Structure 1
Amino acid sequence: MRTNQAIIFFAIVFSIYGLINFYVIRKILSVIPDNYKNISLILLIFFALSYIAGRVLENYWVSYLSDFLIWCGSFWIAVMFYSFFFIIVIDLLRLINHFLPFFPDIPNKNLINVKNFIAISGAVLIFIIIAGGYLTTKIINVRHYEIFINKKAGNLNSLNIVMASDLHLGTINGQKFAYKIVDKINKLKPDLILFAGDIIDEDIKPVLKDNVGKALYELKAKYGIYGITGNHEYIGGVKEAVNYLNAHNIKMLQDTAILINNSFYIIGREDRSIDRFTGKKRKKLSELVNGIDKSLPIILMDHQPFHLEEAEENEIDLQLSGHTHNGQLWPLNYLLKKIYELPWGYKRKGNTHYYVSCGAGGWGPPVRLGSVPEIVNIKIHFVE
């Protein structure tokens, strides 16, 4: 990543993270008995810093310690997130009550009991939310779609595609997770397997240590297995990630268009992050389709689903994307609807079909609420 952009990017991220943690920790300490405040402060600061510490440590030494720190920090991110929302709601109610009193009068001697009750209730609610969200990550849905493309594809009448995005293979999603994904994909007997970015979480070292690529060798598809870069391949080191995936059964397409079986094209775009992390520019879609036979079906993979109109303008038949996780942690999915034209699911514009996956894995906390992990099975029928 270019130095100036790196400093600005991480300064913003760490500032927001630090301010939210300060607010949450301060509020938590206000309901902790004085005898336990010091030890509680130490533990809370440890959890707040553990994810960052674990990520830094794994760059130099992948070990049980780095894994422990990352797991602790990942769950803390979820705890922090929902604690922040819970506390905000309580503070807003207190503010409204200050101007428009609606709370019943409570004697001063009972105020401590009321505060403790609210704190304990909040802690129990957050625990239930996070436990449920963790169990949700273990459920990987297979979503089935049938679409029709009004083109002839050589001698093919149909094509069975299995698409997955955002596996985030690494410390949290290791070899066991990879085998689970591979097993589900192979059971669908795909003609073609496509991975729409963020296959690797961040640094490649945990993937090497856990030999995650061993599972990828077992993927089977008649017309091959292809992938593209996502922003996380760039965060962790794109060259190492791409080389690893190419060596483990996934052909990575980087601003490349290829003809498969003289029947259809696959285009794989570089992730938009290439500019921020390397200073290079990815090719325009119009450049990638230049010179190809548009009478044949064209399938595009583009990790981040911005500017969907580009695919329609360039006569793409099917665009596959990921990145959004559909928010991953409710209620972020509502915010995404303001950012993306299609934050999750299927859409058709003109002759172009779109699918944005919420992902099979996830970043940060192994928790999902309002967003279930998925693998997408799309059967294309070719008709003139």
Structure 2
Amino acid sequence: MKSYQFLVFFSIVLLIYASVNYYIYARSMQAIPADSSFRGWFRWGFLILASAYVAGRFLERAYLSVMSDLLTWVGAFWLAVMLYGFLMVVLIDLIRLADHFTGFLPQILHTSRGKLNVLYLGMAATAIIVLAGYINAITPKTTKLVLDIPKEANGLKELKIAMASDIHMGTLIGPRRTGKLVDSINALNPDIILLAGDIVDEDLAPVIRQNLGEALTRLKAPLGVYGITGNHEYIGGAEAAVKYLEAHGITMLRDSVVKVADAFYVAGREDRDKNRFSGKPRKEVKELLLGADLSRPVILLDHQPFALDKAMEAGVDLQLSGHTHHGQLWPLNFITRAVYEVSMGYKKKGNTHIYVSPGFGGWGPPVRTGHRPEVVSILLRFR
């Protein structure tokens, strides 16, 4: 990505972030009595929490340390607090607007004590939602699919796939969560393991410092472990990320196809953002499969689930994707549903099976609301 493009993007994000935080801060301060000692605590606490994530991310790149980890963790939780705090304030303002015209609220809520109690109630509700979302995020499920593919696979009748996407190994997805992922996948006794992008978070340094690759070397499947790049590999530097992952037992497919056990193909696309970061386009699906025998089953890994018709037209039997996180935090799932044909779950287009996983890890807050993270177990049955 060109420097000026990054600067413009970062400036817009920072402006939105600052505006949302200011709105929450300003409305909250209006609810705190002028003579209350809580005003000072709230002011400085809000400033520290609101700046923690940005400070932690910058410090990570300058000097990786316990302090950068602490700021990143605190700031990551604040991102979730900020979203639900914003929704709480908007809801309260809408209720106040309705009360302005109807006067349905009891008089006590118009007093200083009443306004402060409403603030406390909103803070408590936000904290409960974020805590519940964190517990949900660290409790992944196993999703099981059984799919029929009407093709011969050189005598192979069934194929057990373990699939995961959007692991985001780094400061927030550390040794414990990475180890849990590996144990969950190995417990499925898969024939092959497929990782559909965003295996690492933007910065590779926390991955190296915590030796997270060691856990990946414990992944076991007789037909191999394959992965592809996601947008986060490119954000942090795709070449370094790919080199690290390959050194720890993952075969990375970069606009390439491999024939497995002389029975089926696994094709892996470069991430859609390759052109934005490297200036070089990735291959189209049909171009990618030019050398493949389409009478055999074809599995395609494509991180971002855009243009699903292209996989169908190219003769792909199963496409596995991630990227969307299904919004990760409710109600953002309504946005991903509007952007993607499949935001989460299964769909069949023609003869092509498509599955989009909400992912195992997460970006930003270690919080998920509305759905659970997952590992996917897929049983393919061949003709």
Smaller-chain TM-score range?
over 0.9
Contact 1:329/1:367 (8 A) holds in 2: yes
Contact 2:343/2:356 (8 A) holds in 1: yes
Return the offset for 1:105: 5.4
Match of 2:128 in 1: 128
Return the offset for 1:91: 0.9
2:54 matches 1:60: no
Match of 1:217 in 2: 217
Match of 1:103 in 2: 104
Aligned partner of residue 50 in structure 2, secondary structure? helix
CA deviations over 1:294-347 (Å, ceiling 9, x no partner): 111110011111111111011100000001111111111122211111100011
Match of 2:190 in 1: 190
Distance 1:357 1:80 in 2: 26
Distance 1:254 1:26 in 2: 49
Match of 1:49 in 2: 51
Return the offset for 1:107: 6.5
CA deviations over 1:349-373 (Å, ceiling 9, x no partner): 1100000001011111111110201
Distance 1:72 1:313 in 2: 46
Question: Is the alpha carbon distance of 1:114 and 1:350 closer, same or farther for their aligned partners in structure 2, counting shifts above 3 Å?
Answer: same
CA deviations over 1:59-100 (Å, ceiling 9, x no partner): 1221100000000100110110000001011112222333x3
Question: Is the alpha carbon distance of 1:42 and 1:104 closer, same or farther for their aligned partners in structure 2, counting shifts above 3 Å?
Answer: closer
- Return the letter of the residue paired with 1:62: L
Match of 1:251 in 2: 251
Name structure 2 gaps, 5 residues minimum: none
C-alpha RMSD of matched pairs (Å) = 1.4
Matched length: 381
Contact 2:59/2:68 (8 A) holds in 1: yes
- Return the letter of the residue paired with 2:215: A
Structure 1 residues 194-343: aligned runs within 5 Å? 194-343=194-343
Distance 2:264 2:161 in 1: 13
Return the offset for 1:32: 3.1
Match of 1:83 in 2: 85
Question: Is the alpha carbon distance of 1:148 and 1:32 closer, same or farther for their aligned partners in structure 2, counting shifts above 3 Å?
Answer: same
Contact 1:2/1:279 (8 A) holds in 2: no
- Return the letter of the residue paired with 2:59: L
Question: Is the alpha carbon distance of 1:82 and 1:104 closer, same or farther for their aligned partners in structure 2, counting shifts above 3 Å?
Answer: closer
TM-score by length of 1: 0.96
Distance 2:108 2:175 in 1: 57
Return the offset for 1:291: 2.3
CA deviations over 1:246-270 (Å, ceiling 9, x no partner): 1001111111111111111111111
